[in-house]
Amino acid sequence: MTPTALAPAVAQPGPKPRRVKLTDPAVGVWLAAAVVIVLGWLIVTLDGGSFFARANITTILSNCVALGLVAVGQSAVILTGSLDLSVAYLISLGTLVAAETMQDGSVVTGVLAVLALSVAVGLANGLIVTGLKVNAFIATLGTAFILRGWIEDNYTGPAGQVPASFRHLGYDRIGPVPVSVFLLAAVAAAVWFLTRRTRLGHHMYATGGDEHAARLSGVRTRRTVVVAHVICSLCVGAAALFLASRLGAGAPWAGTEARYDLESIAAVVLGGTALAGGRGGVAGTLGGVLILAVLDSVFNQLSVDPFFKNVVRGVVIIAAVALYARRGRKTA
């Protein structure tokens, strides 16, 4: 029998799916990022600035790092169909723990302490979501409140201090590229590998895509969700370490003042990951982060009113997601 006879209505997409497709959000995002960069360059140059000046590139890149790290983690949970609103406070606490342990301990102990903290918070989130069956939104909002209380109760203002050696992470650069970018690259690569190449990753996509189907196929969905939360928190921990090295001390508002919770979610969604889970990935998220960073830098160059920035950001985010929705409808 000829297989073609079997299914008349098969849409064989593209030449070969493995090759990059324009329908893949990640690609779209990076294209968008490219466009934004070109436009930015044009505008800035017309304005008499120099967009590709060393300093500017460095700024853009180093502005990517913190948000990038958080967003990468956030994409892990969102892929799995969950959400994490506690990241902002975890960052703040992370910087404080890092700075304080490093002050009277070694860098390594500081790093370990932060990562330990992260794992703990991640586990808590994951277990509350899966075990207590509390909606992720509320669960992580709750942990956020708890962390906040802990911070405000124990810290009044910046505390601790990181050794000079550790500060290199925040300040050194090779040519125009800040060292911290390599940290982001490493973490992103790790998470990308985890989500795309390991069984865990496949199960994360499956759980986010259709929990019931995943379970029927023998995927341990709960465990997957918990692990995703831990991964997210670890990335946040990395962000905290970076910020600590950059700030030279721990700051109770390091995470909240930058609204990393909502910003990271925005970046992830901007990166083409579906809020419902199961679609998207780290690559797109990085693109989203880059777009936001470039926008910021352009606004800086033109010294746009900071309030006006928010308006633009809001519009960009909504517009982007509306676009995805459109495309989704087409392929569906």
CB of 84 to another protein, least distance (A): 13
**CA 289 – CA 293 distance, rounded (Å):** 6
Helices 179-197 and 221-247: crossing angle in degrees, nearest 10, is 180
**CA 125 – CA 144 distance, rounded (Å):** 10
CB of 118 to another protein, least distance (A): 9
CB of 81 to another protein, least distance (A): 12
Which positions from 188 to 227 touch another protein by CB under 8 A, shown as an x/- string? -xxx-xx--xxx-xxx-xx--xx-xxxxxxxx--------
CB of 270 to another protein, least distance (A): 9
CB of 242 to another protein, least distance (A): 9
The backbone torsions φ and ψ at residue 178, rounded to the nearest 5 degrees and listed phi first, read: -65, 145
Nearer to another protein by Cβ, of 41 and 103: the residue is 103
User: What value, to the nearest 5°, has the Cα angle with vertex 308 and ends 303 and 310?
Assistant: 115
Q: Which of 28, 126, 252, 284 binds another protein (CB under 8 A)?
A: 252
| Chain centroid to CA 128 | 22
Residues 307-326 that bind another protein (CB under 8 A): 307-315, 317-318, 321-322, 325-326
Residues 113-172 that bind another protein (CB under 8 A): 115, 119, 128, 132-135, 137-139, 141-146, 148-159, 161, 163-172
Nearer to another protein by Cβ, of 161 and 285: the residue is 161
Nearer to another protein by Cβ, of 71 and 265: the residue is 265
Residues 254-273 that bind another protein (CB under 8 A): 254, 257-258, 262, 265-266, 269
Nearer to another protein by Cβ, of 46 and 153: the residue is 153
**CA 282 – CA 78 distance, rounded (Å):** 11
CB of 37 to another protein, least distance (A): 17
When asked if residue 18 is in the footprint of another protein (CB under 8 A), the reply is yes
| CA dihedral over 130, 135, 136, 138, signed as positive or negative | negative
**CA 119 – CA 99 distance, rounded (Å):** 18
Q: Do residues 237 and 90 lie in contact, with contact meaning Cβ atoms separated by under 8 Å?
A: yes
Residues 46-65 that bind another protein (CB under 8 A): 53-56, 58-59, 62-63
Interface with another protein: number of residues (CB under 8 A): 152
* Residue partners of 169: CB distance under 8 A and separation at least 6: 179, 180, 183, 241, 242, 245, 246
Q: Which of 102, 273, 112 is nearest to 191 (CA)?
A: 273
Residues 73-112 that bind another protein (CB under 8 A): 103, 107-108, 111-112
